[in-house]
Structure 1
Amino acid sequence: MNALALLGVSGVLWFAFVWQIVLDELPCPLCLLQRVAFAMVGIGLMLNVSFGSRPAHYGIALLSTLAGMVSSARQVLLHIAPGDPGYGSPFLGLHFYTWALVAFFLLGLFIGGLLLLDQMKLKEAANVPRNPGWLGKLAIYSFLAIVLITVIATLLECGVGPCPDNPTGYLWMPE
């Protein structure tokens, strides 16, 4: 279940990156914070897949979902006024930050449920070596690849300084 959740988080990050490249819509600073929160959720899940389920790994993932909910809710509230077009193009009628808020909420519920289920078997499985299997390895490699690509894209967009509020181009790429 952790591997499937990690694949879901990877899918969200891959979709956002492809949307960024195909539609040439650069992420704003709050969008980047949401991507960081998704990456941190993924790190907690990846630790579970790689080393076995641990409450500390779930703690990383749950605290990251909370941070993601805060940053996406902040962005929703910034654009909630009537007539505000929002930031970026909508997908299925909602902007990405609204989808992120929904996704973080659902991830929090899912991870909390996994923690409850795993708590029953944690004592027996605590010292058992972990083999992630093909699905776990696919989830880990997909996640690590998109995190690396996102870091590179963010460096190209913002450099090492603060990102512009409404980015229009890549700082470190000629146009």
Structure 2
Amino acid sequence: MSNYHVSAAFTFPRFLNTLGLIGITFVLAFAFVWQFAYNELPCPLCLLQRVAFMLVGIGFLLNARFGSSPIHYGITILSAIGGAIASGRQTLLHIAPGDPGFGSPFLGMHFYTWALILFVVIIAYCAVMLMLDRTMNGAVVTTPPNGVVRLIMWLFVLMIVGNLASTFLECGLGACPDNPTEYLMLK
């Protein structure tokens, strides 16, 4: 398995990973906007799921920037497993009949249920890509991403910064409240 350079012709995996990064950026942005539009602060398990989405996005970002790598897919899979554990735990906490759940539902399901579904889909996607992606095996992508991909990468980084700032305002430097109702740092 020798290193070889991948030309611009092998960009389909980069395209798919960029689509994954767009999806993760959208998920983070949607949760962020929902938080402010409906004044629903995320609970500690919700924050863990956001962190898992951020880490999944970092795996996609690394694949989009540097080329597909089993290490990058490994980061994505392990992050999605952690997110699935957090969202699965929250789903099980609110599965009892008559339990209203945490936060408002979106399209009939709560965000943590949607997160569980997305984490499972991400794990399946990465497994398929690990089997099918022919540009791996020590490949080095020499072509930098185009302007659109770089813009998506920066939007993703902006969503990370926004979510981290909001979490700091909500929790400060201590543990987050179980059922947050206000930003502790804005009191």
Change (3 A) 1:130 1:115: farther
Please report how far the alpha carbon of residue 134 of structure 1 lies from its aligned counterpart in structure 2 after TM superposition: 2.7
The match for 1:144 is: 157
User: Over aligned residue pairs, what C-alpha RMSD do you find?
Assistant: 1.1
Please report how far the alpha carbon of residue 127 of structure 1 lies from its aligned counterpart in structure 2 after TM superposition: 2.6
| Runs of 4+ with >2 A deviation | none
Aligned residues: 172
The match for 1:14 is: 29
Please report how far the alpha carbon of residue 109 of structure 1 lies from its aligned counterpart in structure 2 after TM superposition: 1.2
Q: Residue 155 of structure 1 aligns to which amino acid in structure 2?
A: F
Identity %: 53
5+ residue gaps, structure 1, are none
Q: Does 1:106 align with 2:89?
A: no
Q: Is the 8 Å Cα contact of residues 50 and 130 (structure 1) preserved in structure 2?
A: no
TM-score by length of 2: 0.89
Please report how far the alpha carbon of residue 143 of structure 1 lies from its aligned counterpart in structure 2 after TM superposition: 0.7
Please report how far the alpha carbon of residue 137 of structure 1 lies from its aligned counterpart in structure 2 after TM superposition: 1.1
Q: Does 1:61 align with 2:89?
A: no
5+ residue gaps, structure 2, are 1-15
TM-score by length of 1: 0.94
The match for 1:158 is: 171
Q: Is the 8 Å Cα contact of residues 41 and 61 (structure 1) preserved in structure 2?
A: yes
Q: Distance in 1 between matches of 2:126 and 2:26?
A: 17
Q: Does 1:122 align with 2:136?
A: yes
Q: Is the 8 Å Cα contact of residues 34 and 72 (structure 1) preserved in structure 2?
A: yes
